Each structure stands twice: as structure tokens, then as C-alpha cells.
Amino acid sequence: MLVSLRIDNVVLIDHIFIEFQTGFCALTGETGAGKSILLDALGLALGARSETGLVRKGADQAQVTAEFHIKKEHPSFRVLHEADLDADTTLLLRRVVTKDGRSRAFINDQAVSVGLLKKLGETLVEIHGQFETQGLLDAGTHRAILDDYAGLDAGLRDTWDKWRAADRDLTDSREKMEKARTDQDYLRTAVEDIDALEPQEGEEDKLVALRERLMRRGQIMENLTVADDSLGAAETAMNAAFRALEKVGDDGAAMRAGLDRVSAEMQEVTAGIQILSVNLTESEYSLEEIDDRLHALRGQARKHDCSVDELLSVRDELARQLTMIEQQDHVLADLVKKVEQARVQYIDRAEKESETRRTAAEKLDKLVAKELPPLKLEKAQFVTQIERLEEREWRPQGIDRVRFLVSTNPGREPGPLNKIASGGEMARFMLALKVVMAEVGAAGSLVFDEVDSGIGGSTAAAVGERLARLALSRQILVVTHAPQVAARAGHHWIVLKDGKTDVKTNIIPLHEVDARREEIARMLSGAEVTTEARAAADKLLETGTGM
């Protein structure tokens, strides 16, 4: 439930802190006092769209904080866990809006996206305004309302998406095959050209390195010859030195051993020079052959707009396209089979959901029918009509068209809401529907914004009585101009606007009976509260709260 609401610098509100109670809570006040601003502020905390005009004139930013108390099995815990946020039975939702329209959102003082705040807010509070009564006139919303009541999830959309994806694959493959068929000769020639060339991975780099070495071959051979000649002369000199040291006897033994080691290393160097010389002389490719090979490889790469190393993968893709052409009947048959399988899966799931809708619609109609007599619509009828759509009209939401039909007079066939019901009747049909929907909703707090608009007298009293009964299982917040509704509330606040140059909205809890009587008398008689109005207010309060 909503425990408290703190509002700072929102339109006409300077600073307000409201502590709410369980059960039926009523907010009243004169038109223009700022009741709608309170709901706008609550909407901000729940993730509604922000606007620059919400920030109070002269302030840098507006801020709204809503505190909730929730049970551990509440769906909001799942939302928090999925977002890796700490979850507790006390939950703080905060929204900050700067005067330039920028917005920040917080959950338990942790910065979050507005989208996450909205997702969480939807599990906590349902706000039903006057505009929603008009929303019932749009039959396009009726299926979603019924699906909410039936508890249908988004599984059918997944099945629809798979069907559509398979169908797109089939269409794309047909288009590609048609194009490939016209390019068949080109593809075959392209594959043959690459196969004839037999490119090797990393070949370009190897050829470039070999070409570089071959271009320097003459200079390298000359230097190798000089080095070999020099080593030969050194070997001759070392042999002469060795013979001279032999004549020294044992005293020259260590020096002769050193010459032996140097001689062995020089022989290794000489062998290396000879091997390199042979390799350069007997190269597999000539410089001309390397240039021709590089030219051919790079020409194919330019033709296919790729690197030389990518020619092999290009060849494989071209070959795949050729295979598709050669096996197109088989490939298309597989794709057609996949499309049909996905279609059957969608139809199977949609048929089951359709049956679930019909079962839920029967139950919904019966429960709404029970709500109508207390709302002075005892002769009215509410019918959920479900029709099978043509296949071309099927959508992710299913194969059904859903419409809510009503009849307000016996013997008259149910028809569309906008053609049958008056404004006051529409509000009561909406309330009856919302009461039934509340039984399956997760939100612990329901807000009704002037849903009693256009009704009065015993009808308004019936609306107040039904809201009071609904408040036995939910926290109900009602913004109302109907004294019969306000009198039924267990808790009552009045919204006032004061100040001449610096106009502010304030909210005052009416704890005392006298204060409540005065407000309800004002609602009955207008600006001038009469003795008769106070007496009528006392009677309403006695009936509404059991005083």
C-alpha cells in the first residue's frame, strides 16, 4: 500500500507530506484547488512522463517521493530481483525533474531508468481517471482488458514472431534464389577462377617477403662471396698459426685447443653461407613469376572487393549460392515446411488462448452483472463479445476480436458502449469492470480520479458504497466531487488553494467529525454552507461510516 507521499515544488505545491492509511481514502476540494496536481505528482513517482511545466515557478527542480509497504510475495520483488536491486518490505520511489525537463529516477535511493520505475510502479498502483471511461469507447482496448483478467502472458507473441521470422526467411530466400539464378553463370565462373588460382592462406605476405629477398639477391650473393673468401683466408692463417704453436710444445697446447674451437665455428659459418647461396641460386620462383602471382591474386581480390586472405571464404560463399540454386527445390521445401510448422504452432497456441478468453469472458460477464445492481444499473446487461478474425487480421495478440457490449433496457440487444450508455452510465460500467479487474490485479493501491463524474444522488451513494466494499481488500484513493462518495471514506483529506500573489496548494487531513461535516456540507450546498446542508452531511456521514 501507499504509505506516504512527499511533494516538493510541483506546479502550485511548495512542500507537502501526506501520510496515507489503509482502506478508503477520499480527497476533496473545490475545482482548481490542485487535486489533479497531487495525482500528477504521484504519477511522476510511478514513472509517468515528465514535463517542464511541472516544476514550480522559481524552483530549480521538482521532487516526488512515494513510500510503499509491500508483502514479500508481491510481484514488485520479482521486478527488483530481475534488476539486481535490493528488495525489502519498505519501498521508496523517487523522481526528480529539473526545470529544463530532464528527469532522474531512484528506487530505494539507487539510480534507475524511468522505464524500470514505471515497470515497478505498475505493480504497486493502478490509476483510473475520467479519461479511462472514454477509453472504454475504444474497442481496441477491450482485448487487452480481457487478457489481463484472463492472466494471459506474452507467450503467443513469441510464437507469432517465430512464424513471421520463418515467413521472412522464406521470402528472402526466394528473392536471393531468383537473383542467384540470373547470376548462375557468373557464380560458376567466379568459383572456377578462384579454384584455378588455388590461393593459400597467408600467401600474399610470403610472396611479398620472397620478392623483397629476390630483389636484393645480387647484393646478397656478392656479400656472401666476400664473406666466404675472407673466412677462407682466415682459415689459411689459422692453420699456419696452429703449425707454429705445435713447435712450441706443451706450452702451446691451450692455445692450439682455442684455435681448434675457432676453426670449428668458422666452418659452421662457412656452411651457412654456402646453404644460403644455394637457396638464392635455386629459388622456386623467379621475380617475374612472383609478380605475376601477386597480380593474379590481387586482381581476384579487387574483383570480389575483399582481401587476398578472404578469397577462400568468398569462394565458399559463392559455392554455397551455387548449391542453393542447384538444390533450391529442396531448400525451399524445407523453408516452406518450417513456415507451416510455425503457423500450426501459432494457431494451436492462439486457439488455446481463445478458449481461455471465452472462459474468462463468461466469468467476467457474470461478475460484472453482480456489480451493476448496487450501482443502480439493475436492468443493464454487460456482454463480452468474442469473434474469430480472418487470417489476414491475425496479430501477435491472437485470432479474436473482443468487444464489450451493453444494454441498459430489458429486451434491447446489447450494443457498443458509445451508442448505448450515457456519460453517467459509462462511469458506472467502468467502475463495475474495474472492481472485478481489481480481484486479479497485483496493485495494492487503486486510485480513482473523479470516476463518479456526471452522477449524483442515490447513484453516487451506490458508487461510494461499492468503493467502500472494495476498500476492504485494497487501499482505495478517490478524488471526488460527490459528497455521497466522500462520506463513505474511512479517511478524508481536503485540498485547498491559498495565497494571492504566491498561490500554493495545500492538503489537510480531516480527522475531526466537525471538519468532515463542514467539507461535505460545502460539497452539498456550494460556497455558502447552510444549516440544512450540515444536517444532510450528518446524515450522509452516519450512513457512510456507521457513526
DSSP line for 336-353 = HHHHHHHHHHHHHHHHHH
Extract the C-alpha cell encoding 515.
471538519
Q: Does 479 share its domain with 541?
A: yes
Extract the C-alpha cell encoding 150.
484472463
Closest CA to 42 of 540, 522, 475: 475
For 357-411, what is each residue's pLDDT tens digit?
999 999 999 999 998 888 888 889 999 999 999 999 999 999 999 999 998 888 7
Question: Is residue 93 scored above 50 in pLDDT?
Answer: yes
pTM of the prediction? 0.62
Q: Which residues contact 243 (CB under 8 A, 6 or more apart)?
A: none
Give the relative orientation of helices 142-150 and 328-371 as an angle to the nearest 10 degrees: 80
Residue with cell 647461396: 277
Q: Is residue 393 part of a domain?
A: no
| CB-CB contact of 283 with 297 (8 Å) | no
Residue 547: the pLDDT is 42
Residue 386: the pLDDT is 95
Tell me which amino acid residue 315 is: R
Q: Does 122 share its domain with 179?
A: no
Q: Does 184 share its domain with 123?
A: no
Q: Which residues contact 446 (CB under 8 A, 6 or more apart)?
A: 125, 126, 128, 434, 438, 470, 474, 475, 476, 477
Query: What whole-number distance in Å separates Cα of residue 56 and Cα of residue 10?
Result: 5
Which carries the bigger pLDDT value, residue 232 or residue 134? 232
Q: Does 192 share its domain with 324?
A: yes
Between 70-74, 90-94, 465-469, the lowest mean confidence (pLDDT) is in: 70-74
Q: Is residue 143 part of a domain?
A: no
Of the residues 328, 345, 379, which one is the last residue of a structural domain? 328
Residue 131: the pLDDT is 47
Kindly report the average pLDDT of the chain as a whole number: 86
Q: Does 200 share its domain with 88?
A: no
For 202-259, what is each residue's pLDDT tens digit?
989 988 888 887 777 777 888 888 988 888 888 888 888 888 888 888 888 888 888 8
CA angle 186, 188, 190 (to 5 degrees): 65
Q: Does 184 share its domain with 323?
A: yes
Q: Is residue 345 part of a domain?
A: no
Query: What whole-number distance in Å separates Cα of residue 177 and Cα of residue 249?
Result: 93
Of the residues 293, 328, 363, which one is the last residue of a structural domain? 328
Query: What whole-number distance in Å separates Cα of residue 540 and Cα of residue 486?
Result: 9
H helices within 282-327, ranges in order? Answer: 287-303, 311-326
Of the residues 289, 308, 328, which one is the last residue of a structural domain? 328
Between 27-36, 152-161, 248-257, 286-295, the lowest mean confidence (pLDDT) is in: 27-36
Residue 24: the pLDDT is 92
Residue 388: the pLDDT is 95
| CB-CB contact of 2 with 475 (8 Å) | yes
- Strand runs labelled E in 108-198: 110-112, 125-128
Extract the C-alpha cell encoding 443.
496493485
Q: Is residue 81 part of a domain?
A: yes
Q: Is residue 445 part of a domain?
A: no
Q: Does 110 share its domain with 183?
A: no
Q: Is residue 385 part of a domain?
A: no
For 290-302, what is each residue's pLDDT tens digit?
889 899 999 999 9
Give the phi and the psi of residue 200 in degrees, each rounded to 5: -115, 145
Structurally, the chain folds into a number of domains equal to 2
Q: Does 100 share its domain with 185?
A: no
Q: Does 27 share its domain with 85?
A: yes
Question: Is residue 511 scored above 90 in pLDDT?
Answer: no
- Give the range of the structural domain holding residue 319, as residue numbers without chain letter: 175-328
Residue with cell 681448434: 260
Query: What whole-number distance in Å separates Cα of residue 275 and Cα of residue 420?
Result: 105
Q: Does 121 share its domain with 185?
A: no
Residue 405: the pLDDT is 92
